[in-house]
Structure 1
């Protein structure tokens, strides 16, 4: 399969699809699917903008709404995760995953699907130690704190992902902590010298993601967030990590091809690290998003590699997209097959009792108990979730896209207010498929006297103001 991978989207869907079409014409090939590593910005209308944690000057409607309303259709199957600049209300509607627009599938806050048999897993958001071990307490309307904490990854998601048997491709917005030491660090610092202090202090990246990288050992790991292309290779041998800051070659040619990010590339590279980290001026900084925590223990020796690739955001002259070839277990002559991962469905069923919608996160079961629960639920999935003739569980047979919020132009006087939250029919049908309660956005419970014989569909249900 040929799979295109994009770094940060920032609402530039039109430009990304156009670039892929140009590559297809130039190279005489066909891209089968597109993966986007966060900051997607699925803005349906102006009210969604009020749920995106960015300064007002960055609150622009963009063009996603055209894909949402059906004015435009994505020309290629697109799989996305969330970053730290999203319409978090919409992504919460699809916490378990679903179509944000026709042909554009969101993996959820965490998720795993099968694309022509390839297991593609992913984690949305970024790491912050203050919110990692709490529940999903945030509710619309968000206050300033919850508008930020909602996109901080939770331990609940990481524990679920760690129970997967493996992964072929993993998507994250954050970089795994210390991944920079597995590639050309000197070149990275030549391009992004403001990262030096965070690298020196060990504060760059997400410790839980590095733990997942060693646990799942995917063939490919793609990320974004830092607005630069960076390749690395992790050899899973349990060897000690490289020295934190190798001495740079004073004769190396310094390259400065990014006029927006960081100090000039010809600045001295052997200067002492300053006490305060210099932040990326091109990144929308709202608070200290990454805190130093103890790194996970070293993994046991294994014999495999993970190829890590971070990509830039979609702008001219940026390295924001890569096309890779990867062998897939299933070959299709037309559209690729996007299917539920039965292992993930079993994990979702097994761990649903621990999904907290308050600040309090119940203690998780020990790993052996958790894996036993997943094995038990895998048997339930095999017996109760109907597969097709190929033995697959096509997502389109269960979840189909439906608009919940209106498109732009109908907000009226409420244009600058946060929207109500909506019961998403895709979340409803996912929960029914697994026979679990919908804790995310259940329909309102009306008194029996107020119920109509034919209640409106979930897509029309809105609660709150």
Structure 2
């Protein structure tokens, strides 16, 4: 018996054109109902002209766009529930108030710096921003400092860049992911699609392709680790499809799997899978990684008998899709079909849920933030960290993880939304 499928509309770069996007989605929705719309960045959630100071757009090209109407009017909403991630042209004065995500307007939900949520039986992971290596290990300047010093323009480009704290909880995920969202491309996908056709449209990509620099290496590594059914991106303003076939991934991730390793031991493989699925032009990861020992001394004194093992049944292949920006005659919107897990509570009540495993990873990261901050990302051994973190409680009270329904005006109380998440999970 076939599993039910969701029809999900995917849109590339928004650039403030919400009205046009919603008009097209509404047209398609009337022909054949759509369950969800996902916008892959450059959303430009400008609430007023006061937000121009915190967006990376030259003054002569700045325009308010459509979002402010939805933000300021509680009755304005999209034709279907809408999720979006951040890109490299965002109103950070707004989005930084929602680091863990939240409602940006009625039925439009921002996913924060990174996230994992459930919607109608589909598990959706996300990573906002773009890759710039020099900012990966740095902390973002705080919103209050930027506002107080009026230093948004000076810092705004850096604020878009992916940080280590954004990707750690994603690398710790070990259960299956249906959709993974990022703004820029994983830098290995170009070798799995029609590269020659891509170069006909974008010949200036050739230099970056030859140097293996078209996209994000951290997202490519995530793709190989998570092996989602779909990876969806935007950023490069072109439609591109690829199919990445994976080697089998089955890890022994029992919570007490083996004797804890010596602090000085060197682990030789950052990735859990073999190198067979790496394109010949892609460089393997740093081999000088170290094992993080985040256990107490008492924990290391004895080895318990193995308990139940957790196997990862990740997809055998990942479909990659990137779309253009919203302009006439551009390929900026596509509807995909995604199988739903009918056993998940979100299928029954059509509500959105925070993902317990991802929340568990955030909690573990918060508990060990000192050593996480001091250890370079390339030196982290994910298998070991996953074992150290233990399994989250699978006897789940799903009411705790239910994302509250939209209430009028909640989008203008960003701090209240963030406080709710932190109070519930991170204090």
> Any conservation in 2 of the 1:122–1:172 contact (CA below 8 Å)?
yes
Aligned to 1:180, the other structure's residue is in SS state helix
Deviations 1:65-108 (A, max 9, x none): 11111251222111110000000121111001111111011111
Would you tell me which structure has more helix in proportion to its own residues?
2
Q: Structure 2 residue aligned with 1:395, among 392, 403, 414?
A: 403
Rounded Cα–Cα distance in structure 1 between residues aligned with 2:40 and 2:134: 23
Alpha-carbon deviation of 1:119?
A: 1.0
2:245 is matched with: 235
Rounded Cα–Cα distance in structure 1 between residues aligned with 2:407 and 2:132: 32
1:371 is matched with: 386
1:75 is matched with: 79
2:184 is matched with: 174
Q: Does 1:305 align with 2:314?
A: no
Rounded Cα–Cα distance in structure 2 between residues aligned with 1:342 and 1:398: 21
2:167 is matched with: 158
Rounded Cα–Cα distance in structure 2 between residues aligned with 1:310 and 1:110: 19
Deviations 1:343-370 (A, max 9, x none): 11111111124568xxx93337753553
Q: Structure 2 residue aligned with 1:96, among 100, 123, 126?
A: 100
Rounded Cα–Cα distance in structure 1 between residues aligned with 2:277 and 2:398: 44
1:409 is matched with: none
Q: Does 1:85 align with 2:93?
A: no
Q: Structure 2 residue aligned with 1:116, among 113, 116, 120?
A: 120
**Structure 1 residues 295 and 239: alpha-carbon distance in aligned structure 2, compared to 1, 3 A threshold:** closer
1:34 is matched with: 37
Q: Give the total of aligned pairs.
A: 358
Alignment map for 1:334-345 (pairs within 5 Å): 336-345=350-359
Aligned to 1:136, the other structure's residue is in SS state coil
Structure 1 range deviating more: 139-148 or 69-78? 139-148
Deviations 1:139-183 (A, max 9, x none): 423354421111100122112101112311000001001211100
Structure 1 range deviating more: 304-313 or 114-123? 114-123
Rounded Cα–Cα distance in structure 1 between residues aligned with 2:337 and 2:104: 26
Alpha-carbon deviation of 1:230?
A: 0.1
Structure 2 alignment gaps of length 5 or more:
1-5, 248-274, 288-312
1:431 is matched with: 422
> Any conservation in 2 of the 1:82–1:173 contact (CA below 8 Å)?
yes
**Structure 1 residues 8 and 303: alpha-carbon distance in aligned structure 2, compared to 1, 3 A threshold:** closer
> Any conservation in 1 of the 2:85–2:126 contact (CA below 8 Å)?
yes
Deviations 1:36-78 (A, max 9, x none): 1110111111111211011112221111011111251222111
> Any conservation in 1 of the 2:120–2:347 contact (CA below 8 Å)?
no
**Structure 1 residues 202 and 313: alpha-carbon distance in aligned structure 2, compared to 1, 3 A threshold:** same
Alpha-carbon deviation of 1:387?
A: 2.4
Alpha-carbon deviation of 1:373?
A: 5.2
Q: Structure 2 residue aligned with 1:199, among 209, 216, 219?
A: 209
Rounded Cα–Cα distance in structure 2 between residues aligned with 1:67 and 1:393: 26
> Any conservation in 2 of the 1:346–1:375 contact (CA below 8 Å)?
no
Q: Does 1:9 align with 2:14?
A: yes
Rounded Cα–Cα distance in structure 2 between residues aligned with 1:368 and 1:243: 25
**Structure 1 residues 353 and 145: alpha-carbon distance in aligned structure 2, compared to 1, 3 A threshold:** farther
> Any conservation in 2 of the 1:99–1:401 contact (CA below 8 Å)?
no
Rounded Cα–Cα distance in structure 1 between residues aligned with 2:207 and 2:13: 23
Aligned to 2:390, the other structure's residue is in SS state helix
Rounded Cα–Cα distance in structure 2 between residues aligned with 1:40 and 1:329: 29
> Any conservation in 2 of the 1:125–1:173 contact (CA below 8 Å)?
yes
Aligned to 1:426, the other structure's residue is in SS state helix
Q: What is the TM-score normalised by the length of structure 2?
A: 0.77
> Any conservation in 1 of the 2:228–2:315 contact (CA below 8 Å)?
no
> Any conservation in 2 of the 1:208–1:296 contact (CA below 8 Å)?
no
Alpha-carbon deviation of 1:239?
A: 2.4
**Structure 1 residues 362 and 89: alpha-carbon distance in aligned structure 2, compared to 1, 3 A threshold:** farther
Rounded Cα–Cα distance in structure 2 between residues aligned with 1:17 and 1:113: 23
1:21 is matched with: 26
**Structure 1 residues 210 and 310: alpha-carbon distance in aligned structure 2, compared to 1, 3 A threshold:** same
1:259 is matched with: none
Alpha-carbon deviation of 1:399?
A: 8.9
Rounded Cα–Cα distance in structure 2 between residues aligned with 1:398 and 1:230: 34
